[in-house]
């Protein structure tokens, strides 16, 4: 690829590509600025608030997917333990609690230094992985916070493969 073409590709904001993907899925979104995009996606268990931030100086996209569930102070230690165990099972990204509102969040950063830009497949994979993992572990959070179950019971329940729907 000629150098000029690589420079043009590298100068394209990856959030513009992401916006095309989000539009294709008819998800409501908002561009707070050229470098920030927020989208809300309805999941099976709750709504997910995804935020993408492009940091041009670092050539990286920061991504977060916040679950719509505030963790009561009395359950935060157990949830931290649960999320640590869940994180051991992940290949991509990690879970944590937001410091200000104690809401569970899946996070990942996509480094793009030395690359001509993000691909639509990379962006799709990050969104798909976040939704899959959030849907998979949301019931475990519910079991710990509202069901009075232990972390080990919640992890075991998250690993159960279900067939069909009740």
pLDDT score at 153? 84
Phi, psi of 52, deg, nearest 5: -120, 130
Domain that holds residue 43: 3-159
- H or E element, residue 66: strand 60-67
Which tens digit of pLDDT belongs to each residue from 88-139? Answer: 988 899 999 988 778 999 999 999 988 888 888 999 999 999 999 999 999 9
pTM of the model: 0.83
Which tokens belong to 139?
């019931």
Q: Is position 166 within any domain?
A: no
Q: Is position 164 within any domain?
A: no
pLDDT score at 60? 94
Radius of gyration of the chain (CA): 18
Q: Is position 44 within any domain?
A: yes
Domain count along the chain: 1
Nearest CA to 9 out of 63, 59, 64 is that of 59
Is residue 24 exposed (0-12), middle (13-18) or buried (19+ Cβ within 10 Å)?
Answer: exposed
For residue 57, what is the DSSP state?
Answer: T
Q: Is position 151 within any domain?
A: yes
- Read off the CATH number of the domain in which 28 is found: 3.30.1460.70
Q: Is position 55 within any domain?
A: yes
Quickly list H helices, the chain.
Answer: 3-11, 14-24, 76-88, 120-145, 151-159
Q: Is position 165 within any domain?
A: no
Q: Is position 77 within any domain?
A: yes
The answer, yes or no, to whether residue 166 has pLDDT greater than 70, is no
């Amino acid at each position: 690829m000629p150098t000029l073409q690589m420079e043009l590709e590298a100068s394209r904001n990856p959030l513009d590509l992401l916006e095309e993907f989000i539009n294709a899925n008819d998800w409501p979104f908002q561009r707070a600025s050229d470098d920030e995009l927020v989208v809300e996606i309805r999941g099976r268990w709750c709504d997910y608030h995804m935020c993408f931030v492009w940091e041009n100086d670092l050539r990286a996209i920061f991504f977060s997917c916040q679950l719509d569930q505030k963790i009561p102070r009395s359950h935060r230690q157990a949830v931290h333990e649960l999320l640590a165990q869940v994180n051991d099972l992940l290949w991509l990204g990690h879970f944590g609690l937001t410091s200000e509102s104690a809401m569970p969040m899946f996070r990942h950063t996509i480094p793009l230094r030395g690359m001509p830009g993000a691909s639509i497949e990379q962006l799709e994979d990050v969104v798909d992985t976040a939704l899959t993992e959030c849907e998979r572990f949301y019931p475990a959070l519910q079991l710990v916070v509202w069901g009075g179950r232990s972390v080990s019971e919640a992890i075991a329940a998250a690993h159960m493969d279900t067939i069909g729907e009740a």
